[in-house]
Structure 1
Amino acid sequence: MELTLVQSDDWHLHLRDGELLQAVVPHSANHFGGAIVMPNLKSPVTTTAAAIRQVLMRSSLQARSSKVVFAIKLYPAGAITNSQEGVTDLLGKCSLVLEQMVQYNMPLLVHGEVTDPNHITTMDAVRFVESCEEGFVAATVTPRHLLLNRNVLFQGRLQPHNRCLPVPKEKSTAIVSAVTSGSKRFFLGTDGAPHERRRKECPCGCAGIYNAPAALALYAKVFEEAGALDKLEAFTSLNGPDFYGLPRNTSKIKLIKTSWKVPESFSFSFGDIIPMLQVKH
C-alpha cells in the first residue's frame, strides 16, 4: 500500500512562458526534484542567456558550464508547438553544433517524429534504442504512450485534450515490457504539455497533454499491473541522472495506494487547463 522511492526528476517537460509558466510550475514541483525543460516557446530558447532566464542552447561549452543547460533539443521544423523555426537540414546546417556537442559530451535530445505522414511506431522505437550501445542512446517514455492509443482522440466525439504529437499509435506491449524490464535505456519523461482550454478546443487546436498532477501515479499503475513495482524506482529516479552523468536525488517521495480523483480542471485568471484523466479514455 506504500512505496518509498528516491525522488524523481522529469527528463522531458514543457512549462511554456508568461502566465501559463507561473500556473503550472507548482504542479511539477510538488512531485519532481528537477526537470529538463523544453525550449519550444513562442520565442524559442536558443542562447545560454535565454536558458538561464527560462531554459536552452548556442555554445555547447558555455551551455554545459552554465549548470543550467544539460542538453540541446532537435525539433524538425513544424513538427510540434512553436517549432516553426526548427531544423530543416540537420547535416547541412547543424554539423558544427553536433561536433561541438560531441567534444563537450552534450546530449542531443530528439523529438522522435518526422513531418510527413509516415511516423515511427512505438515498437520500432524500442528496437532502435535497444540496438544501440548502452549509455549512448536512451529514451524517455510518457504516461500516455504506456496507457493510451489513437482511439482516445475519437471516443464518442472528438477529444481535443487527448491530442498530442507524436500521436500514440497503439497501446504497445513492447514499450510496456521495455520500461518495466529494468533496462537502463528507458526512464521517466512526462512530456507534460499544458495549453489553455480555448487553445485546445478550437479549429487547429494545440497538441499536448497535461499530466503533471497524475504522472507518478500513472507510471506506478503501469508497473503494478506488470508485476514490476520493484523496478519502478530505477525507471523514475535512477536511470535518468545516470544517463546524463548527474547526481541522483537524495530526497525521498512516498507513493500511497488509495482512491483519488484528478481535478476536472485547473482554473486561472487566463482560463482553464484540463489534465489527463478528465477526458474519455
Structure 2
Amino acid sequence: MKFTEVDEIELPAAFDAHVHLRDGEMSQLVTPTIRQGGVNQVYVMPNLVPPITTVQQCLEYRDRLRAIDPNVDYLMSLYLHESMTPETIREAKKAGITGVKSYPAGVTTNSSSGVLDYKLFYPIFAEMEKQDLILNLHGEVPSTPSHAPASSNTQDPSAPTQAITILNAEPAFLPTLRSLHTTFPKLRIILEHCSTAAALSCVTSLGPTIAGTITAHHLSLIIDDWAGNPYSFCKPVAKTPEDRDALLRAVVRSNGRFFLGTDSAPHDRRSKRGGDSVAAGVFTQGWSVGYVLDALGRGVERGVIGEEEVTGEVLEGFLGKWGRAFYGVGEGKGERIVVKRGKGEIVDVLEKEGLDVGVVPFRRGEKTWGVEWK
C-alpha cells in the first residue's frame, strides 16, 4: 500500500481510548457522532459536574449513554477523588468499570476537584494494582500563579525549582509518572494525550505497564495554530513543530506503546468566544479516523515519516488494536469500516433541532476521509 496514492482503505472499526461525552443536551448532541467518526468502542472520561466518583453514578451515566446510542461499547472510568476508598475500587472491579482518571487540580475543564498530592492516593493505587484497574493520568502540573514564586509548585518537591506554564506543564509532570511506576510497577498506567517529545521518551523508557495516548489534533497542531484560535485551544496545548513531528513518528514507530485517544472535548460555541475565558477542548469526535489519516499524509509529504511506514498494520494498530490490547478488550462485534479520501465533509457547526447547544469542530468546513460501515 502506497499511502499517499490510496483513495480507499478497509479497517477494523476504531477504538477511541479517551473521549468526553458530557451529559444532558451536549451528550445528546455529540454521542451520535462516535460511529460517524469510524469508532465503535470508547473509553469515557468522568469529569462531569459533579464528577463521577461513585460506582452507582458511573453505571447510571453509562445507561444514559447507551440510551442515546446502544451500538457503541462504552468503557467507563471513575474520577480520582478524596472520597474514594479501596472498597470503591473493589466495587468498581465487580461492576465492570475499567479505570480511574486522575486530574491535577485546576489544570483543565472540570478539574477543580482534582489531585493536589498523589501520595495521599497510594492506598487507592495499591488496590487498583491488585484489582488490575487502569490509572489514566492527565499528565500536567498546575501553572505557577503569576504572583507566586516558582517554588510554589509542589507536585514534585525534589525537582529543580521552576515556574510552570502551559508550555512546560507536561514535562514537569514526568517525574511523577516515573515515581508512580516505580512504586506500583504492576499498575497499568496511561499517560493521556501526550503532547511533547519528552513525554514520548519517558513512556518508552518505562516498563510495559506504561502506555500513552495521542490525539488526532496534536498530530496536526503547533503553538501558532491555537494562539488566537479558540477552536484549536486545548489542554495540554499543542507545542512545537518538533513535538508534533515526534508524535507522528511515535504513531508509526512505537510498536504499540501509543494509541489513539482523541480527547475529543465538546464545548458550546458560546464558551469558546465572548466569555471571560476560553474553554479548553478541541472537538474531533465525528471525523476522528479521517483527522489521523490526514495528519499522517501531511507527515509523509513533509518527510517526517516515510511512505513505507504508514502500513495497514500500523493503521489497524494505532486506531484500535494496540489500545484494545492494553485495555484487554476485544473488538466487540468485529465491525469494519471503509474510509475514502476526500469523501468526508466537516460541518461548520454541529447542531441538532431542539437542542440549545452547538459545537464548532476542528478544521470546520474542510474535507477529510469519509467513513462507511460494512
TM-score class, shorter: over 0.9
State the secondary structure of the residue aligned to 1:126. Answer: helix
Q: 1:139 aligns with which of 197, 208, 212?
A: 212
- 2:103 alignment partner in structure 1: 75
- Name the aligned partner's letter for residue 276 of structure 1: F
Query: Normalization by structure 2: what TM-score?
Result: 0.70
Specify which of 350, 357, 367 is matched with residue 266 of structure 1.
350
Secondary structure at 1:103 match in 2: helix
Do structure 1's residue 113 and structure 2's residue 140 form an aligned pair? yes
C-alpha separation in 2, matches of 1:238 and 1:107: 17
1:38 counterpart residue number:
45
Question: What is the DSSP-based 3-state SS (H/G/I as helix, E as strand, rest coil) of the residue aligned with 1:274?
Answer: coil
Residue of structure 2 in register with 1:88 after alignment: 116
Q: Which runs of 5+ in 2 are unaligned?
A: 1-6, 62-75, 79-83, 144-164, 172-195, 367-374
The CA deviation at 1:261 is 2.7
**What residue is the counterpart of 2:234 in the other structure?**
164
Alignment deviations for residues 54-101 of structure 1 (CA, whole Å, 9 cap, x no partner): 24335222212212x20100100101111101111110x211101100
Partner Cα distance (1:73, 1:52) in 2: 16
**Match status 1:102 vs 2:129:** yes
Query: 1:213 is matched with which residue?
Result: 286
Aligned with 1:176: secondary structure?
helix
Which residue is 2:16 aligned to?
A: 10
**Distance in structure 1 (CA, Å) of the matches to 2:325 and 2:20:** 22
* Further displaced range: 14-23 or 270-279: 270-279
Gaps of 5+ in 1: none
**CA pair 129-38 structure 1, distance change in 2 beyond 3 A:** same
Q: Deviations over 1:201-237 (max 9, x none)?
A: 1221210000112210011123343421421111101
**168, 171, 178: which one pairs with 2:250?**
178
The one-letter code of the counterpart of 2:169 is: H
Moved over 4 A (4+): none
Letter in 1 for 2:201: R
In the other structure, the counterpart of 1:203 is: 276
Equivalents in 2 of 1:75, 1:120: separation in Å? Answer: 12
My pick for the range that moved more, 96-105 or 110-119, is 110-119
Q: Secondary structure at the match of 2:342?
A: coil
Residue aligned with 1:187, SS: strand
Percent of residue pairs identical = 30
Contact 2:346/2:361, CA 8 A, preserved across alignment: yes
Name the residue aligned to 1:232.
315
Q: 2:364 aligns with which of 271, 278, 281?
A: 278
Q: How many residue pairs are counted as aligned between the two chains?
A: 274
Q: Which has the higher contact order (CA 8 A, sep 6+)?
A: 1
How far has the Cα of 1:53 moved from its partner? 1.4
